[in-house]
């Protein structure tokens, strides 16, 4: 059985912060469980020893409705030429979103069920979720230290607050029977894209989507309606900016979905006035801001295109003409053809690497005479399939990284209880060498967050497997992974993202540090290499994500004492003045991270707590020393957002496998 059903406690609304308020693309060691724990302490569900601890947390995670917070922006690699900016929300804004979901969750569902165009929208409150069992055979590699509360164990595999109808991923739609039916019925297929959707959405337009625009404008003083509350939430969580919504959190996608549901209805009405009915002359499918038009003729497609263009402009949106694709039957794009070929080549590669034993359902490694030739040949085949389409190559790399990782997982699972004789160990080693070379090749030419998670999973599982079953070959396998990590840090793609984004280390690079750390203490980067990767010598202040990943990597090892001192200097620069901790996302997250981190001296953590108590008006000159010490003691027992326990990596990877964005 691949998964089992788990029940959700619907009355625990704080679970909203586990799935709805934090981007998926964060460092591998980061998860928003820390904010969940703060909410539980504030509500008295998690006990603390000292009252001042709860008072301090309350001061930071609550705010007036009209007060705004400043999100923490960061960038990830979008493609070889550009980046995408995501944002982390302040804990106080996330707390408000929890209250908003509690009050308006059914209104959200109602407003997301108006359109039959959407193929990915909230349908009901999630009552269950699925815990994958595909890696349960490595349970012995997990650590109980990961789980700090009963509630975390209960919700550690939640993927979303709502259950969604439609398709989990866009490619699922193109592989569906529904798509085949649409191709049978219609001869024309157009693919349209809304230009810079989230950046262009005007927050006030949420009112227009569930009321008439003129009514909304003439009654703008009404402050407690669904639209006015959601509008205020999106503005105040984003520096009071009404032009554009933050990219990353699921709540932003729900905000946009509500608006698009109304646009869908407007489009249908516009076309009905032209005697065009959905289901007859045309059908539309929309996946967030990607719109797909199926029609009987070019004339019908053009009419639908005009209706879409006209109606989205009412919401200050526009179509990206350069991304419009027009196809006549058969509805096969270049990317579709490429993926079919890649899947065939991958199957052939797997057959070349392993043979199946049907009796015991195990995978045996084959004897490989020319490992380098196999690697070069497969890589060249993939390049030749994508030589005239860079976007196809990006898609191919992402697909192959996941597919090759799954081959490793399946291989390890099928052989985990096997006794491997000495003469066969080299066969297993050769299998890993080939897969590792291919995986790191496709990641290095196209680094991505999802790719790093797959590499981390492969590294963790392979290392444990080799240590246990082929210990004589394990150093060779780990050395190969470590060498490929170094190759990435010296690659042109790494250099490109470093030069283009030199003010801070990109997420893809930070995640590769985490991947290399999975190999153990015998495979640590030198101080010189770490300095060149992070660029400490510029004297700049490190970002929040840089700080937590570096601390995770260096821990309390003496060889990194100079680097640790530079990290502490950056923490001190950011947290020197905590007067704005109630509004600054970076300061709020870093404060709780620094005061709960086991690799920071207690004397410095005490100083940070003292600053926070003074800045929030909780300090009394009579008891400041006593209060500071006890609050510090409480906080060091708290699990915040970074997992400092390396043995907990498998649990983290399980969660992130389920929490990918759509």
Q: What is the pLDDT of residues 549-589, one digit of tens each?
A: 999 999 999 999 999 999 999 999 999 999 999 999 999 99
Task: Evaluate whether residue 538 is within a structural domain.
Answer: no
**Statement: residue 323 has pLDDT above 60:** yes
Same domain, 347 and 381: yes
- Nearest CA among 231, 224, 85, 96 for reference residue 582: 96
C-alpha count within 13 angstroms, C-beta hemisphere, residue 632: 20
Closest CA to 496 of 75, 77, 21, 67: 77
| Alpha helix ranges (H) inside 279-333 | 298-313
Which pLDDT value is given to residue 561? 94
pLDDT > 50? residue 144: no
Taking 90 as the threshold, does the pLDDT of residue 335 lie above it?
Answer: no
- Average pLDDT, integer, range 273-281: 97
Rounded to an integer, the average pLDDT of 374-400 is 91
CB contact at 8 A, 556 and 599: yes
Please report whether residue 223 resides in a domain.
yes
Q: Collapse the DSSP code of 348 into the 3-class scheme (helix H, G, I; strand E, B; otherwise coil) and give the result.
A: helix
pLDDT of residue 549: 97
pLDDT number for residue 318: 96
More confident residue, 137 or 149: 137
pLDDT, tens digit, 9 for 90 and up, residues 448-459: 999 999 999 999
- Contact assessment for residue 118 and residue 248, using Cβ atoms and an 8 Å cutoff: no
pLDDT single digits (tens) 466-482: 999 999 999 999 999 99
Is residue 49 pLDDT above 60, yes or no?
Answer: yes
274 and 394 co-located in one domain = no
| Mean pLDDT computed over 290-309 | 97
87 in Cβ contact with 246 (< 8 Å):
yes
Q: What pLDDT shows up at residue 635?
A: 96
pLDDT-based confidence at residue 40 (cuts at 50, 70, 90): very high
Does residue 281 fall inside a structural domain?
A: yes
Q: Collect contacts of 329-335 with beta carbons under 8 A, ≥24 apart.
A: 329/183, 329/186, 329/187, 329/188, 329/189, 330/183, 331/179, 331/182, 331/183, 331/189, 334/389, 334/392, 335/389, 335/391, 335/392, 335/395
Decide if pLDDT at 431 tops 80: yes
463/481 Cα distance (integer angstroms): 10
Query: Beta-carbon neighbour count of residue 518 at 10 Å?
Result: 24
Give CA–CA dist 599/551, Å, rounded.
Answer: 7
Tell which of 269, 299, 328 closes a domain. Answer: 328
Most confidently modeled range among 99-108, 200-209, 217-226 = 99-108
pTM: 0.91
Give the Cα separation of 438 and 381 in Å (integer): 12
Asked if the model's pLDDT at residue 351 lies above 50, the reply is yes
For residue 412, tell me if it sits in a domain.
yes
Q: Which domain holds residue 471?
A: 332-498+511-520
The model's pLDDT over 216-263, given as tens digits with 9 standing for 90+, comes to 455 555 568 899 999 999 999 999 999 999 999 999 999 999 999 999
What number of H helices and E strands is found in the chain? Answer: 28, 12
Based on its alpha-carbon atoms, the radius of gyration of the chain, rounded to whole angstroms, reads: 26
Q: Which of 294, 328, 362 is the last residue of a domain?
A: 328
Nearest 10 degrees: Cα torsion 597, 598, 602, 607? 0
Last residue of a domain, one of 272, 307, 328: 328
Confidence check: pLDDT of 145 > 60: no
Summarize pLDDT for 614-659 with one digit per residue, the tens. 999 998 887 899 999 999 999 999 999 999 987 777 777 877 766 5
Residue 203 lies in a domain: yes
Distance (Å, rounded) from C-alpha 29 to C-alpha 514?
8
Residue 319 in tokens? 């179509």
Q: Assess whether 368 and 515 both reside in one domain.
A: yes
Residues 301 and 198 in one domain: yes
Closest C-alpha among 61, 130, 118 to residue 94: 61
Residues 319 and 422 in one domain: no
Q: Please give the DSSP secondary-structure letter assigned to residue 21.
A: S
Of 205-209, 272-276, 518-522, the range with the lowest mean pLDDT is 205-209
Mean pLDDT, to the nearest integer, of 81-86? Answer: 88
In a domain, 92, yes or no: no
Q: Domain total for the chain?
A: 2
Instruction: Yes or no: say if 485 and 452 are a contact pair by the CB < 8 Å rule.
Output: no
Q: Provide the H-helix boundaries in 26-90.
A: 33-42, 51-61
Which residue did the predictor score with more confidence, 234 or 150? 234
Query: What is d(CA 121, CA 105) in angstroms, rounded to the nearest whole number?
Result: 13
Give 299's pLDDT tier (boundaries 50, 70, 90). Answer: very high
Tokens representing 525?
């980067």
Is 80 exceeded by the pLDDT of residue 142?
A: no
Predicted local confidence at residue 468, as pLDDT: 93
Mean per-residue pLDDT over the chain, rounded: 89
Residues 269 and 337 in one domain: no
Task: Count CA within 13 A, CB hemisphere, residue 1.
Answer: 5
CB 444 within 8 A of CB 634: no
- 313 in the same domain as 337: no
- Is residue 62 assigned to a domain? no
| pLDDT at site 143 | 37
Residue 18 CA to residue 251 CA, distance in Å, equals 12
Residues 311 and 419 both lie in one domain: no
In a domain, 40, yes or no: no
pLDDT category of residue 662 using cuts at 50, 70 and 90: very low
- Residue 242 shares a structural domain with residue 288: yes
Residues 207 and 293 in one domain: yes
- As beta bridge partners, residue 6 has 129
268, 350: one domain: no
- Where residue 191 sits, what CATH number does that domain have? 3.30.70.270
pLDDT reading at 24 higher than 60: yes
333 band by pLDDT with thresholds 50, 70 and 90: confident
Of 166 and 157, which is predicted with more confidence? 166
CA dihedral (497, 499, 503, 507) in degrees, to 10, reads 10
Task: Please determine, for residue 29, whether its predicted confidence score (pLDDT) is greater than 50.
Answer: yes
**Given this model, what pLDDT does residue 655 score?**
73
CB 363 within 8 A of CB 410: yes
Is the domain of 340 the same as that of 315? no
């Amino acid at each position: 059985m691949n998964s089992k059903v788990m029940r959700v406690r619907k009355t625990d609304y704080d679970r909203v912060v586990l799935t709805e308020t934090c981007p998926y693309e964060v460092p591998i060691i980061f998860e928003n469980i820390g904010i969940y724990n703060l909410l539980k302490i504030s509500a008295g569900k998690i006990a603390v020893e000292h009252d001042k601890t709860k008072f301090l947390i309350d001061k930071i995670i609550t705010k007036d409705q009209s007060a705004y917070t400043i999100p923490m922006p960061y960038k990830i690699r979008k493609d070889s030429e550009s980046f995408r900016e995501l944002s982390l929300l302040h804990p106080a804004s996330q707390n408000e979103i929890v209250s908003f979901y509690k009050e308006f969750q059914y209104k959200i569902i109602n407003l997301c069920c108006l359109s039959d165009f959407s193929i990915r929208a909230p349908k009901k409150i999630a009552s269950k979720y699925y815990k994958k069992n595909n890696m349960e055979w490595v349970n012995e590699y997990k650590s109980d230290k990961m789980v700090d509360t009963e509630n975390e164990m209960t919700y550690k595999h939640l993927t979303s607050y709502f259950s969604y109808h439609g398709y989990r991923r866009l490619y699922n739609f193109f592989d569906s029977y529904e798509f085949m039916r649409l191709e049978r019925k219609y001869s024309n297929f157009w693919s349209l894209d809304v230009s810079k959707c989230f950046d262009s959405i005007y927050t006030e337009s949420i009112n227009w989507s569930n009321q008439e625009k003129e009514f909304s404008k003439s009654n703008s003083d009404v402050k407690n309606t669904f639209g006015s509350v959601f509008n205020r939430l999106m503005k105040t969580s984003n520096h009071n900016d009404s032009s554009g919504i933050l990219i990353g959190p699921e709540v932003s996608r729900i905000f946009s979905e509500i608006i698009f549901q109304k646009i869908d209805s407007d489009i249908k009405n516009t076309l009905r006035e032209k005697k065009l009915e959905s289901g007859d002359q045309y059908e539309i499918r929309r996946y967030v801001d990607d719109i797909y038009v199926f029609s009987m003729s070019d004339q019908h497609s053009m009419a639908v295109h005009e209706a879409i263009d006209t109606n989205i402009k009412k919401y200050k949106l526009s179509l990206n003409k350069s991304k419009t694709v027009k196809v006549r039957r058969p509805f096969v794009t270049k990317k579709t053809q490429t993926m079919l070929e890649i899947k065939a080549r991958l199957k052939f590669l797997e057959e070349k690497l392993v043979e199946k034993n049907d009796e015991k359902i195990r995978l045996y490694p084959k004897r490989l005479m020319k490992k380098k030739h196999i690697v070069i040949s497969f890589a060249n085949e993939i390049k030749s399939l994508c030589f005239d389409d860079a976007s196809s190559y990006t898609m191919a790399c992402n697909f192959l990284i996941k597919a090759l990782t799954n081959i490793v997982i399946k291989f390890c699972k099928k052989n985990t209880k096997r006794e491997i004789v000495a003469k066969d160990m080299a066969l297993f080693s050769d299998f890993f060498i080939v897969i590792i070379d291919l995986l790191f090749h496709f990641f290095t030419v196209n680094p991505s967050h999802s790719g790093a998670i797959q590499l981390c999973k492969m590294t963790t599982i392979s290392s444990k497997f080799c240590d246990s079953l082929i210990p004589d070959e394990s150093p060779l396998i780990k050395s190969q992974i470590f060498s490929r990590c170094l190759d990435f840090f010296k690659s042109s793609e790494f250099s490109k993202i470093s030069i283009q984004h030199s003010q801070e280390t990109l997420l893809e690079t930070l995640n590769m540090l985490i991947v290399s750390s999975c190999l153990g203490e015998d495979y640590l980067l030198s101080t010189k290499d770490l300095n060149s990767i992070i660029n400490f010598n510029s004297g700049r202040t490190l970002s929040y994500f840089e700080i937590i990943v570096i601390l995770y990597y260096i821990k309390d090892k003496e060889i990194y004492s100079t680097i640790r001192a530079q990290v502490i200097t950056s923490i001190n620069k950011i947290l020197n003045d905590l007067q704005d901790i109630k509004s600054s996302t970076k300061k709020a997250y870093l404060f709780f991270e620094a005061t709960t981190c086991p690799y920071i001296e207690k004397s410095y953590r005490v100083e940070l707590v003292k600053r926070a108590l003074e800045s929030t008006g909780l300090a009394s000159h009579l008891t400041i020393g006593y209060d500071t010490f006890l609050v510090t003691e409480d906080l060091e027992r708290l699990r915040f957002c970074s997992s400092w326990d390396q043995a907990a990596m498998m649990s983290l990877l399980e969660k992130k496998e389920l929490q990918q964005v759509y």
